[in-house]
């Protein structure tokens, strides 16, 4: 599979997973057991039309646009997030309908003149999944960087809204998974590769113990009852990875992620991005792709992103 198919699969896959989750966000897992999501829905939790992505997708698109036009520039990226917050940049229909507390606080600071890289909260309670959900374009645009620069870029991009080391390292681990999947490794091998690289770099870090469950080689054997799908950054990363490891197609992965319940749009978005790399653009159901709004805008942005970033 060529790298462009993997990159497009990841970008579109993120939006698809997000859009599948939007109508059932905040609903408990038991609701999904009785009424599983099997296809795109409309309205629901946020009253949005079919195919609508949330704050996850909008910020991911802002990040992709920043990287395509400016290269890696956290100030530009942060300012584009502010334009999303204040003027609806890269919203699906021109209206912002969801934003996390930590992200709102950070973007207000940037709006008031705070440098983007120091705007994010760094307290213990600032470990929601608000940076993980939109980090994907950064590792995709940094594949040719050496590992130190690769990890540093991801950490700095996280800090725009989420600066606690746990959130930063969660984004780095995600980035290592992205890099391994882009090399063509299957999910189990990519997981092992990313875990080994993460372990080698951070085993003495004060936050390392929090990541132990995500690094276990037998994560795929964990029962669903042990997989949490809240808005906590490590829950989202673990759930998304678990869905990738325990399924055999793009559709199966994103639907499994959404049907975990609770923070469905973000689990779907992160799982969709990872699955999109592994399975490629052609594996995403055409009817789901067609359900996304702003088709021409997405095509133009992703074409620009592919042209601007190294692919291997």
* pLDDT one-digit tens code per residue, 177-195: 999 999 999 999 999 999 9
pLDDT for the residue numbered 309 = 83
Place of tokens 């309670």: 125
On whether the CB atoms of residues 238 and 213 are closer than 8 A, the answer is yes
By the 8 A CB rule, do 90 and 84 touch?
A: yes
Return the pLDDT at 165: 98
CA distance 97 to 253: 26
Banded pLDDT at 310 (limits 50, 70, 90): confident
Band the pLDDT of 9: cuts 50, 70, 90: very high
Q: Which two tokens stand for residue 88?
A: 């609806």
| First and final C-alpha spacing in the chain | 12
**Is the sign of the CA dihedral 40, 46, 48, 54 positive or negative?**
negative
Give residue 307's pLDDT.
94
311 has a pLDDT exceeding 70:
no
Quick one: pLDDT band at residue 312, thresholds 50, 70, 90?
Answer: low
> What contacts 311, CB < 8 A, 6 or more positions away?
3, 4, 7, 143
Please give the Cα distance from 55 to 73 (Å, whole number): 21
> What mean pLDDT is reported for the chain?
97
Model confidence at 268, in pLDDT bands (50, 70, 90)?
Answer: very high
What's the confidence (pLDDT) of residue 126? 95
pLDDT in tens, 119-161: 999 999 999 999 999 999 999 999 999 999 999 999 999 999 9
The sign of the torsion formed by the CA atoms of 99, 263, 121, 155 equals negative
pTM across the whole model: 0.97
Mean pLDDT of 245-270: 98
Residue 2 is given by DSSP the state -
The 10s digit of each residue's pLDDT in 52-97 is: 999 999 999 999 999 999 999 999 999 999 999 999 999 999 999 9
Q: Which residues contact 301 (CB under 8 A, 6 or more apart)?
A: 61, 64, 65, 68
Least confident stretch, 43-47, 80-84, 112-116:
43-47
User: Residues 6 or more apart from 252 whose CB is under 8 A from it?
Assistant: none
Is the pLDDT reported for residue 172 higher than 90?
yes
């Amino acid at each position: 599979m060529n790298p462009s198919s993997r990159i497009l699969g990841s970008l579109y896959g993120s939006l698809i997973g997000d859009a599948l989750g939007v109508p059932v966000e905040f609903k408990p897992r038991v609701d999904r057991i009785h009424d599983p999501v099997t296809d795109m829905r409309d309205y629901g939790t946020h009253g949005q039309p079919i195919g609508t992505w949330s704050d996850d997708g909008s910020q991911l698109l802002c990040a992709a646009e920043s990287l395509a036009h400016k290269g890696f520039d956290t100030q530009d990226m942060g300012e584009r997030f502010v334009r999303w917050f204040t003027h609806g940049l890269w919203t699906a229909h021109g209206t912002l309908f969801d934003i996390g507390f930590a992200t709102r606080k950070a973007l207000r600071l940037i709006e008031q003149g705070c440098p983007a890289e120091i705007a994010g909260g760094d307290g213990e309670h600032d470990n929601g999944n608000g940076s993980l959900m939109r980090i994907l374009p950064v590792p995709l645009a940094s594949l040719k960087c050496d590992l130190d620069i690769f990890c540093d870029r991801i950490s700095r991009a996280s800090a725009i809204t989420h600066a606690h080391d746990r959130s930063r390292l969660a984004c780095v681990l995600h980035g290592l998974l992205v890099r391994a999947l882009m090399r063509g490794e299957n999910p189990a091998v990519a997981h092992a590769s990313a875990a080994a690289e993460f372990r080698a770099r951070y085993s003495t870090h004060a936050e390392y113990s929090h990541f132990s469950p995500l690094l276990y080689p037998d994560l795929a054997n964990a029962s669903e009852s042990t997989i949490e799908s809240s808005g906590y950054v490590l829950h989202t990363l673990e759930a998304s990875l678990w869905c990738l490891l325990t399924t055999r197609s793009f559709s199966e992965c994103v639907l499994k992620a959404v049907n975990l319940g609770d923070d469905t749009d973000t689990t779907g978005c992160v799982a969709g991005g990872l699955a999109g790399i592994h399975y490629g653009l052609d594996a995403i159901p055409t009817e789901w792709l067609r359900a996304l709004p702003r088709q021409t805008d997405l095509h133009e942005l992703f074409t620009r992103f592919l042209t601007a970033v190294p692919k291997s």
